[in-house]
Amino acid sequence: MVQATSMFTICAAIPMILLLVASLLAARSTEDREKSTPFECGFDPKSTARIPFSTRFFLLAIIFIVFDIEIVLLMPIPTMLMTSYTTHIMITYMLFIIVLIAGLIHEWNEGSLDWSM
């Protein structure tokens, strides 16, 4: 029993030692400045990090994500209507569409969707 335990310990220790030595040998001695800088959404990593970010772009991206989520919520509606047509499903569907259209009209009037500014 003791011999099996020691054999197991040796078989487990050898790969660990080999991996440790391999990682130490493969480590780069000098770090490349450009490779160690983070990649930030297409910004040049060598320029200053304090570039003004376009809030209009951020707002448009958030609106896009919100409308994508709403589309995902609308996807099962036709299947639900095919299996069982109830007025409850239809009323919920219509209210959801009305809220979506009202939000779109509000964003349009506010100018959030106007990219030309």
CA distance 92 to 71: 15
pLDDT digits over 22-62, tens only? 888 877 655 666 666 666 565 555 666 566 777 777 877 88
Instruction: Specify the number of domains making up the chain.
Output: 1
Residue 116 placed within a domain? no
Residue 115 placed within a domain? no
| pLDDT score of 17 | 92
CB 80, CB 91: distance < 8 Å: no
Give me the percent of the chain exceeding a pLDDT of 70: 74
| pLDDT score of 98 | 93
What pTM, to 2 d.p., does this model score?
0.46
| pLDDT score of 4 | 74
Determine the structural domain holding residue 42 and report its residue range: 2-110
92: CATH: 1.20.58
